[in-house]
Structure 1
Amino acid sequence: MSVSAVVVSHGHASELEALLPRLAPQVDELVVVANTPGSIRATQPPGIRVLENARPLRLAANVNLGVAATTGDWVLYSNPDVRPDAGAVAALHDFALTRTHCGIAGPRTVWPDGTWQPTRRDFPTVGGTLVRRTPLRRMFPPLERQRAHYHLDQDVDEPVEADWLLGAFLLMRRVMLEELGGFDEGYRHYVEDIDLCYRAMRAGWERWYVPAAHVAHDWAQVTDTRFLSRHSLWHARSMARFVRKHPETLSRL
């Protein structure tokens, strides 16, 4: 069974220089979607295909574009700022093959300094989201106080099921993506990974955290540093879309 990889670059040419040589040997095909001019440099590892957009698209649309351009039974999506260890993709793939209903698998992720990064999370609640996206986070730091949401006390060594996994580095079954219609392109930015995992859950697909796969991620946390920015507005609109699509989640106060 083959694995295709999709990377979306929005001016991340320097990050790709570090990522692509690590990722290319681990997959059967690799597509880079260049969303803006200057998103990829001329010299890249051999065998990489580049799709250059005539105009910038939303992240979900770019991922769907890359998925459509590939043929593997599995699709690995990676952010440009991820650095996978050798064998990371194989570890995800080998585990996923043991689970008939595994639709999504994600790795153990660390910051560039090696500190564990909590990427396995519960589906959002109204109260928790209000704390994370308002000045309340100054009083109640989420990565300290929201221990259940981020599973902060569960840096596990064995595979475990997840509600959702941060979309920085995900292995996805193509059959699942086709059944769900891919990522929802209605999201301007943010929450498309939560939405995909939620729809996967409702359709009976499992989401697994696989700590045998290791990656480093220079998570920018843009929406966590400023409250009044275009990114925080995009996030708020995306959460509103998620609730409109899935109103039953409002019961998760």
Structure 2
Amino acid sequence: MKVSAVVVSHDHAAELESSLPALVSQVDETVVVANLPESVAVVPNGVRVLENSRPLTLAANVNLAIAATEGEYVLSANPDVTPEAGAVAALVVFADAHPHCGIAGPQMRWPDGTWQPSRRRFPTIRGTLVRRTPLRRLRTPYEKQRDHFHLDERPTDPVQADWMLGAFLLMRRTTLDEIGGWDAGFRHYCEDIDLCYR
């Protein structure tokens, strides 16, 4: 089996209704984790649903779903992400051609079609202070943060990234096994930074 998709739903039934059909058609198996009761309504045929007895962190849920899959690659997708036709195949072609690459992600777009900055540099204390405090309103520190988000780049060919948004990541199973999967100690946010860092 080549590609297994895992999706965590935390009351995202409506989003899954529109995103799952586009995802399921591009992978060999799909596992959805229902983190809350009734967070999954109707799913396409062949999709397995794992129901939690109590809510878990995103990382714990992703690890639970990964353990239930068999693919050489695992695609972790947010429930509100609808992949374009051929998106998964393009990532697999790249990963197959670059065996040193443990994680690959696509160029992402907002629902209106505009570019979404989805790759970043690893955070620094200075940069985090600028982005997370009123300092972000000052032009000079903010302009210096453009590099963190790669805002002046619009690559058309694959590029290396420190980390990518965890919304849609193709991960090599051997890499996940080597690093121990996602760190379930992260309560919410930064799991993707940690994953790519390791």
Report TM bin, short chain. over 0.9
For 1:60 and 1:20, how far apart are their aligned partners in 2? 20
For 1:159 and 1:185, how far apart are their aligned partners in 2? 29
In structure 1, the residue matched to 2:30 is 30
Structure 1, residues 187-242: CA drift from partner, whole Å, max 9, x if none?
1111110001111xxxxxxxxxxxxxxxxxxxxxxxxxxxxxxxxxxxxxxxxxxx
| 1:159 to 1:39, Cα distance in 2 relative to 1, 3 A | same
For 2:48 and 2:73, how far apart are their aligned partners in 1? 17
Pairing of 1:55-70 with structure 2 (within 5 A): 55-70=54-69
Contact 1:8 1:80 in 2 (8 A): yes
Contact 1:143 1:150 in 2 (8 A): no
Q: Which amino acid aligns with 1:127?
A: R
| 1:150 to 1:79, Cα distance in 2 relative to 1, 3 A | same
- Cα shift at 1:117: 0.6
For 2:5 and 2:172, how far apart are their aligned partners in 1? 12
More strand by share: 1
Whether 1:151 and 2:153 are equivalent positions in the alignment is no
| 1:148 to 1:70, Cα distance in 2 relative to 1, 3 A | same
For 2:88 and 2:142, how far apart are their aligned partners in 1? 27
Whether 1:80 and 2:91 are equivalent positions in the alignment is no
Q: Secondary structure at the match of 1:76?
A: strand
For 2:159 and 2:39, how far apart are their aligned partners in 1? 36
Pairing of 1:111-122 with structure 2 (within 5 A): 111-122=110-121
In structure 1, the residue matched to 2:39 is 39
For 1:143 and 1:111, how far apart are their aligned partners in 2? 22
Pairing of 1:184-223 with structure 2 (within 5 A): 184-199=183-198
Contact 2:23 2:83 in 1 (8 A): yes
RMSD: 1.5
Q: Which amino acid aligns with 1:81?
A: D
Q: Secondary structure at the match of 1:38?
A: coil
In structure 2, the residue matched to 1:104 is 103
- Cα shift at 1:48: 0.2
Contact 1:58 1:185 in 2 (8 A): yes
Task: Percent identity, please.
Answer: 68
For 2:141 and 2:19, how far apart are their aligned partners in 1? 29
Q: Which amino acid aligns with 1:5?
A: A
Contact 1:131 1:140 in 2 (8 A): no
Contact 1:13 1:39 in 2 (8 A): yes
| 1:143 to 1:38, Cα distance in 2 relative to 1, 3 A | farther
For 2:139 and 2:101, how far apart are their aligned partners in 1? 35
Q: TM-score, normalised by structure 1?
A: 0.76
In structure 2, the residue matched to 1:8 is 8
Q: Which amino acid aligns with 1:135?
A: P
Structure 1, residues 93-119: CA drift from partner, whole Å, max 9, x if none?
011100111100000101111111111
Whether 1:131 and 2:133 are equivalent positions in the alignment is no
How many pairs does the alignment contain? 198
- Cα shift at 1:27: 0.2
**Runs of 5+ unmatched residues, structure 1:** 200-253
For 1:7 and 1:144, how far apart are their aligned partners in 2? 35
In structure 2, the residue matched to 1:89 is 88
Q: Which amino acid aligns with 1:103?
A: G
Contact 2:135 2:141 in 1 (8 A): no
For 1:108 and 1:185, how far apart are their aligned partners in 2? 26
For 2:51 and 2:36, how far apart are their aligned partners in 1? 8
